[in-house]
Structure 1
Amino acid sequence: MPSASTSAVHSRAPQEALGPPVTAGVVTALVGFTSSFAVVIAGLKAVGANQAQSSSGLLALTLTFGLGILFLSWRSRMPVTLAWSTPGAALLASAGMPDGGWPAAVGAFLMVGVLILLTGLLPVLGRIMAKIPTALAQAMLAGVLLPLCLAPFKSLGSAPLFVAPVVLCWVLLMKFAPRWSVPASLLVALGVIALHIASTGVHLPVESLLPMLEWTTPTFTVGAAVGLALPLFIVTMASQNIPGVAVLKSFGYTTPWRSSMLVTGAGTIAGAPFGGHAINLAALSAALAAGEEAGKDHGRRWIAAFVSGIAYLVLAAASAALVTLVAAAPPGLLEAVAGLALLGTLASSISSALAAAGERIPACITFLLAASGLSIAGIGAAFWALAGGILVRWILKSREPVQKA
């Protein structure tokens, strides 16, 4: 007969086995949410959203991808995690308000959802996406990110007392705990905002602290479709969905591609009228739920993803309060936090864009066009950057046989 102590060990074993994936799931949600929500708010405001619409967009995004994580992880029994498109939000921040204002931006979000859904339904669309040179897609993203990543250092000159503590915290945590560098700098920023509110006597309406979805009837314009929807779709696919597949593969999982695209496409469509720009497979935060920290049992790491979905739904309740606090921030502080959050993405984008010697000139053209803020016929720089880079690449490639001859 087994002893009482042996029975106790066996009774505790399932609970102990759940500890690592549950902890990893909570950490995944905390890091994923806090490290980039400032970028999302900045992006939504740049394309015309007011405070209530920004709050609604953040809530819609968190709800849709939180529910999507629950469905995909439970169905596939794999640690499939989703997120909002952080590079897409950065694209919005650099693109500015489209012709037609916020309703036209919402129409563009809806088109992105349809394109993602079609990617799951029509394999040919995925093959077309694969033909876009990776170097040019990454160069476009790097150009979009550059102005945003300059913001912390510009703000150091205009508001040093507010921004310096945030930057210093980020630098120190990058040395000792890189994963927590952006969440920690966000906490410092929120502390700065609290002090600012206390010293200036700013009043925060109680009703603005409560999460609420706000409907916007979408409108559709050519400028928003070409200058916003198409680049947003490309950035989301190239910088989130494809890397998300690669991250899961590195841990031995085959991403359920079709169902992931259907879920994220449908989720983007559902969230668009409430201000959600795009949801997708998680890339960087995916490693938190799929790696060793989620437990040694490879077959139980899906629990970490499932728990992260629950945690995201809990965090969704804080979306309105966070937007309200950020709205009361000193000038330049939000931009500084967003820029720090994107520095890692900028570095990896530049590295990828310039990795192949033969692609460097077209990539540089793409990068500079995207960073220039060029706008022609109401179509933003991201589209012209990609078009210009592809044209230059075609011209240079077409003359190679002549040079060799």
Structure 2
Amino acid sequence: PLAADALAGTPCRYVDMPLSMARFGEVEQTWWSFSFSPVIDQNGVIAGVFCITNETTQHVLDHHALRDSERKRLELIDKLVRQERQQTARLKQRTLELNTFWEMSPDPLAILDFNGMFLRVNPAWTVILGRTEQELVGSSIMTLLHPDDVGNTRSALKHTVNQVLPLFENRYQHVDGTYHWFGWTAAPGNGIIFALGKHLTHEKQRIEALHIAEEALRQSQKMEAVGQLTGGLAHDFNNLLMGVTGNMELLLSRIRQERFTELDRYINAALEGSRRAASLTHRLLAFSRRQTLAPKATDVDVLIAGMDELIRRTVGPAIDMQVVASRGLWSTLVDPHQLENSLLNLCLNARDAMPDGGRLLIQTANRQLNASAATQYELPPGRYVELSVTDTGTGMAKEVIDRAFDPFFTTKPTGMGTGLGLSMIYGFARQSGGGVRIGSTLGEGSRI
């Protein structure tokens, strides 16, 4: 068609015409540009066509590559724009969530500089301490701290410059002047500190109330034992007083009769009786004294020896009491006063289980518990000191053993016990890193 147009006298041009061309034994896709012009002879007649052609394959390929590149660039830009919009939306949503959390959190949140200046606080500060954000921002946490907490809080701030601060506690002053406990964890970031707090005042008050109640319960249990002690010792104490007064009366009688020989015998006898009475009184007072749990290295055999007379007098002459000490017994970390209380309660229980008399055996032993044996006591393997009290009394049925450590459970008649003895002993043993086991056969006796 181009040549025909040129022969008809119309110059024409075609740019980047695609042509399949066989070159080097293969068919290639090529592109060419053509220009056809008529050739006029001297008579003004078209005698032919003048054709100019050049290959534009590389130009077309470059143009296609540029077009594809531009398309890909636009697609990439569009993708990036969509991603940015999505990220902006996510950031907006996350900011909304964080702001909502910040505003609604019942726990105090704060952003500080490394000097402890408030940069931002959440509304929980107002709820807990009565202090507004306007009051706090720009002020130092040091102005609100309990004086005893200033030093360790400064150390905590220095610690947080380079690493996360684990749980840390201090006290802040309420607008009414009272101090409230807080627990904190904090982390550094971009030259500031992010701090998350927990209001601990009520929790600490509950813990303190629990400690007071536990101490009162221990003291109540001890005084119950003291009551039984005094009942058992009253007769012995009266006998000792009669011995003192009797010897003093004999002494007075001999003086009146002017018989001055052997006076020292009556004096020494009276003194011995008074010393024994004083010793009993001292032991009773020491046992009943209110003391908090204070573990220390204790020789259990020495402790038992110190209580020997007290226990014998308490259980009475109808009970054959024996103490078998272990040679080379290890020291153990335990509160000796609570151990005395526990031992006495076990002996009183044994006495009550033998109303017609019987045998009471107190033994100590070193025990190396392997994994299997330790599991029975719910303890880790290791070295332990065992203290056992065995009686030949009525024993316990399985259902009684199963409930023996339950608070307020008792098989004694109403008014004869609180049911707290074994539960207190169990709690004391667990708190001291030990355990309690009961072995008993109904009608044959028990070993604890």
| Greater relative contact order (Cα < 8 A, sep 6+) | 1
Flag the structure with larger Rg. 2
Q: Larger strand proportion, structure 1 or 2?
A: 2
Q: Larger helix proportion, structure 1 or 2?
A: 1
TM-score between the two structures when normalised by the length of structure 2: 0.24
TM-score between the two structures when normalised by the length of structure 1: 0.25
